[in-house]
Amino acid sequence: MIALRAAVCIAAVLVAACASAAGPATAPPDRDRYVSELPRSVSTARLRQHLVALQRVADTHGGTRIAGGPGYAASVRYVRDQLAAAGYRPQVSTFPFTSYRERREVARQLTPVERTIRVEAIDYSPSTPTGGLRGRVAPADNGCEPGDFAGTRGRIAIASRGVCFIFQKAQNAAAAGATALLVFNPEPGPIDATLGDPNASSIPVAAVEAPIARSLLGAEDATVSLEITTEKRRTSSQNVLAGTRAQGRVLLVGAHLDSVLAGAGINDNGSGVAAVLEIARVVRTRAPGLAVRFAFWSGEEFGLIGSRAYASSVDAAQLAGYLNFDMLGTRGGKAGVYQGPFAQRLLGYFKQRGQRAEIVDLTGRSDHFPFEQIGVPTGGLFAGVDKCYHARCDRLGAVDLTLLKRLASAAAFGVASIAPIRTG
């Protein structure tokens, strides 16, 4: 999942009763049977098998499955082969993609004291000029309004994270004449974020820790030097799709397949990938009458790139909805249900089983967002973040398999209760 700070509120609602159909053998299959069987058919052993395989992929390819890298290409092959083994005809869809790497990230406070400052370039940030840049810092509040950058011309602006997307802050800073933008979390925690588009900003943008940002803003005439070197390369990447029907209205079910550069991404988002692969298997064997299309997205960590590419070409009228599964096995996590039209149905599933669930607002933070923007009803599940989020320790041992099984079963319920039933 791309870096987030989600707003959470607790809710509990009874699920609406699912419709059932009865009749002769030519009538649509009984939805009640699907709703009952699919969640019970999800296998913990198979979920773990997929996580082990993705961990092995990362270990073989430099510890990462980042989009544009060999680890991602191997992940695509694994998912494609698993779908084929389950009886599908998977399609690998290629789309334009800009890969990104940071090569140098160096900053120092020069006055009134001198010290090294840890910075991390925001994904798709431009480089600083050769040799870096230096300037006095200036406050920019949260950076979401052009007026926040009054007095930042020729200076390095500092803004807090939140309220709006980072690319909007960067564009406001550039328009005001700031030479660079530093962003910090107003609450404890790191920033590992993206501008979402390789051309989103004309000035360098980097994250800095909150205590450093506040210290700089509180100092008299604080001056900073900043040197960032990034590399962008136009290339291509791939989504993987497979479904139970080639044409007609379907429920789209997806998870992002890529990781960040820092780690293997076994919770983020091998857990979602494992759940969708397992649901695809049980749909094929237990509920072949459901009209479902399964999707595995590239470039989510860079800004929902793969799902945006697909959403830009799909006929929204042909989608009954989109369910997204991202980070389902977070240690110490809990069941989070995306706000939206499917929330009550999923909350009801947990309530009937005596399990607590919470509504989460992940607007713009994962692959449901491009579909929400084109008017498709969206929903999903999420288990929260922990210390291994976007870190090297996001490996097999960091995944709570019990929680993953619980959420994967709830995801299977969602598919069984929402997907259209084929009539021909």
> Per the residue annotation, which of 300, 301, 358, 372 is the catalytic one?
300
Using DSSP's 3-state secondary structure scheme, residue 108 falls into strand
Whether residue 101 contacts residue 231, with contact meaning beta carbons closer than 8 Å, is answered with: yes
CA nearest neighbour of 323 among 306, 341, 335: 341
Q: What string of DSSP letters covers 75-90?
A: HHHHHHHHHHHTT---
Annotate 276-326 with three-state secondary structure.
HHHHHHHHHHHCCCECEEEEEECCHHHCCHHHHHHHCCCCHHHEEEEEEEC
> Nearest Cα to 87, choosing from 235, 310, 382, 294?
294
CA gap 152, 145 in Å, rounded: 13
Q: Is 227 a catalytic residue?
A: no
Contact, 63 vs 161, CB < 8 A? Answer: no
Question: Cβ contacts of residue 318 below 8 Å, gap of 6+?
Answer: 248, 249, 250
> How far from chain centre, in Å, is Cα 18?
30
Tokens at 113, concatenated: 């004291």
3-state DSSP call for residue 352?
helix
Residues identified as active-site = 300
